[in-house]
Amino acid sequence: MAIRSKFELDYDAPFVFETTFGNDDVYIGINYNEIGDFYTIDLYDAEFQPIIMGEKLVYGKRVWRRSVDPRVPAVDLIPMDESGKESTVAKANFGITVFLYIDTLVDETV
């Protein structure tokens, strides 16, 4: 059972979904690069204006970690596998064992 909140999505890329972080509505786009077998993530504001485009998803690393743009939500969004079996984000595992998680522990006793 997951101990972090994960995005339950159809991980067939490319796709775009809307979500809310705090008071910020944003759109997130996911794209797949067949040549390199990796995924990228795009961030758009509520009006679908691009903020960050084409950042590579790196296993276990917070997305948008290098950005200082105030429009980027202050959330730890991380591609990972809670079982610890995986170490990459690839077509063979993304949406199967590797998911996008909000890196905040969920209290399952509630």
pTM of the complete model: 0.84
Distance CA 36, CA 33 (A): 6
Cα dihedral sign, 8-9-11-12: positive
Q: Tokens at residue 16, please?
A: 């775009």
What are the residue boundaries of the structural domains of the chain, listed by start?
Answer: 4-105
pLDDT at 31 over 90: yes
Residue 12 has what pLDDT? 72
97 φψ region: left (φ > 0), alpha (ψ -120 to 50), beta (else): alpha
Residue 106 has what pLDDT? 57
pLDDT at 4 over 80: no
Please report which confidence band the pLDDT of residue 105 belongs to, taking 50, 70 and 90 as the band edges. Answer: low
Q: Which of 3-17, 50-64, 91-105 has the highest mean pLDDT?
A: 50-64
